[in-house]
Structure 1
Amino acid sequence: MTLPEASVQLYTLREEFSADLQGSLDTLAGIGLRNVEAFDFVSRPAEIRAALDAAGLAAPTGHAPLLTDELWTPDGSIPTPAPEVVFAAAAEIGIQTVIDPFVAPERWLTEEGVSDIAERLNALVETAAGFGLSVGYHNHAQEFVASFDGVSAYERFVALTDERVQLELDLFWALTGGQDLPALVERLGSRLTAVHVKDGVVPASNPWAPGAAEFGSDALDQRRAGEGDVPLAAALRAGAAIRYAVIEYDKAPGDVFADIAASLAFLTDGGFVA
């Protein structure tokens, strides 16, 4: 089995990246990373590509909304244009897979809603291929609230999507959704291209369940990889075809670069990445 490569989601260092794009990427390269996962990249692809090249980094994956008009984050939303504009920017940067990172909770509560999400993403497969790209989906915990005939909305979605649609499983949020992570990773098999390596104290209840209070990143108690509730090692070992182990913090517990370095050490020292 080929080990995945380590990466980091740039949302983790959104403030630092915004203040000093080149310096942030240079620091990540100095830590030992070779890959990043792009975030909010559509408005400045040439600048990002130049900075990546200067730092010796690649961005094989990137997050951008394909199924909504804006990119949701716990701390605000970012408008994004049509998919063709997203794909053109991604291709300029060198991204291979554009991943939709969030679809609103209410759309996951009915079979019709799940079918619509799958159909919309399937319809973009060929469009993305025209740019030399693939498309994917990244979960939070709302995909695990509803189930239909004993199958979670998330796994119903997986069954309905074109096999060319890539899956990126956020391990922290899937556990928040009540999932047995190693079993889920194993079931997803070759469809699972990437995982988000994220640890912390899992919320007592799913923050996207109907009636849950609104929350932001400050409400999360996230920890360095291996120091929280998430069975990261078992989940990573269960993967058969994971290409990227993507470090992410919605809220870094301390100095963001030190926290990224600690999670990278967890991956490398444990033999989980190449």
Structure 2
Amino acid sequence: MTRPLSVQLYTVRDRLAADRDGVLSRIAGLGYGAVEPYDPTSDPKGFRQVVDDLGLTVSSTHAYALLGEEPAAVFDAIATIGTDLVIIPGGIAHEEFTSRDGLARTADLLNGLAGQAAAHGMRLGYHNHWWEIEPRIDGRHALEALADLLAPEVFLEIDTYWAAVGGADVPGLLGRLADRVLALHVKDGPGVKEEPHTAVGQGVMPVPEILAAAPGAWRIVELDSCAGDVFDALAGSRAYLASLEVS
């Protein structure tokens, strides 16, 4: 891998709340080299100290807080944790992705935040679920139509699982979005909205084809939910993804 494999910390949210330092240590012990926080405003100095001590990189961060808190304070926290890739992971009404007017409003919001991010030396991105994929605008997935309206510096973090659930041929989608995609959420499962996820490689996703379609993007493992032990699933995911590198 050209970049270390990352974990979206939402995967371990409950355990993280109980023992942040121990959970981060365990993730590093599994062989992951990076993490993606979901709340950079939660003790950013303490978080940075722990990840630095463990030798972990912060690949990127989700930042719902930008939609409701003072942006400058949020960007300061993000600078403290040590990344320049800032991602809006939702928080925009699903209906906005069903019309051209809604997409225009969404693009205006994201482009405005991207300008503020740039002033802090950062880039802003957007992370999809299924509701940006299912609607079609002029025969294309809504997310593709949105991409046309975004400023060039705004990137996409494609959640490959939710893109598939939304009806996309994920390798094809990645190929069309091309250099707009800087990060992937790599996850697996049965491909059904309400069912728990599995370790990567144990579900229905065509993982090798997906990774080949975006070879330069960050690879970030996430399980929104997990039927078994989440650390076992993280270990299995890493082992599978590592096997693809040597096969």
* TM bucket, shorter chain: over 0.9
Give the secondary structure class of the aligned counterpart of 2:226: coil
Say which structure is richer in strand. Answer: 1
- Asked if 1:97 is matched to 2:85, the reply is yes
Structure 1 residue 258 displacement after superposition: 1.5
**Aligned twin of 1:235:** 210
Contact between 1:39 and 1:63, CA under 8 Å: does it hold in 2?
yes
Give the secondary structure class of the aligned counterpart of 1:245: strand
In 2, Cα distance between the equivalents of 1:131 and 1:90? 10
In 1, Cα distance between the equivalents of 2:46 and 2:32? 20
Give the secondary structure class of the aligned counterpart of 1:162: coil
Give the secondary structure class of the aligned counterpart of 2:132: helix
Match of 2:153 among 137, 145, 164: 164
* Deviation by residue 1:178-200 (Cα, 9 ceiling, x = unmatched): 00011111111111101011100
Structure 1 residue 25 displacement after superposition: 0.7
Q: Partner amino acid for 1:261? A: A
Give the secondary structure class of the aligned counterpart of 2:225: coil
**Aligned twin of 1:266:** 240
Structure 1 residue 67 displacement after superposition: 6.6
In 1, Cα distance between the equivalents of 2:228 and 2:77? 32
Structure 1 residue 153 displacement after superposition: 1.1
Match of 1:179 among 151, 165, 168: 168
Change (3 A) 1:254 1:236: same
Contact between 1:189 and 1:240, CA under 8 Å: does it hold in 2?
no
Give the secondary structure class of the aligned counterpart of 2:60: strand
Structure with the greater relative contact order (CA < 8 A, sep ≥ 6): 1 or 2? 1
- Asked if 1:143 is matched to 2:118, the reply is no
**Aligned twin of 2:107:** 118
**Aligned twin of 1:82:** 70
Structure 1 residue 66 displacement after superposition: 6.3
**Aligned twin of 1:223:** 198
In 2, Cα distance between the equivalents of 1:154 and 1:169? 10
Q: Partner amino acid for 1:181? A: V
Q: Partner amino acid for 2:72? A: E
* Deviation by residue 1:10-68 (Cα, 9 ceiling, x = unmatched): 00000111111111111111111110001122132112111211222121200012673
- Asked if 1:50 is matched to 2:65, the reply is no
Give the RMSD, CA atoms, in angstroms. 1.6
In 2, Cα distance between the equivalents of 1:270 and 1:263? 11
Q: Where does the alignment leave 5 or more consecutive residues of structure 1 unmatched?
A: 70-80, 208-218
Change (3 A) 1:150 1:115: same
In 1, Cα distance between the equivalents of 2:176 and 2:122? 25
Change (3 A) 1:28 1:268: same
| Identical-residue share of aligned pairs (%) | 38
Contact between 1:105 and 1:143, CA under 8 Å: does it hold in 2?
yes
In 1, Cα distance between the equivalents of 2:196 and 2:224? 9
In 1, Cα distance between the equivalents of 2:28 and 2:113? 33
Contact between 1:21 and 1:51, CA under 8 Å: does it hold in 2?
no
Contact between 1:34 and 1:56, CA under 8 Å: does it hold in 2?
yes
- Asked if 1:249 is matched to 2:223, the reply is yes
**Aligned twin of 1:6:** 5
Change (3 A) 1:11 1:154: same
In 1, Cα distance between the equivalents of 2:239 and 2:221? 11
Normalising by structure 1, we get a TM-score of 0.85
Structure 1 residue 240 displacement after superposition: 4.2
Q: Partner amino acid for 1:31? A: L
Normalising by structure 2, we get a TM-score of 0.94
Equivalenced residue count is: 245
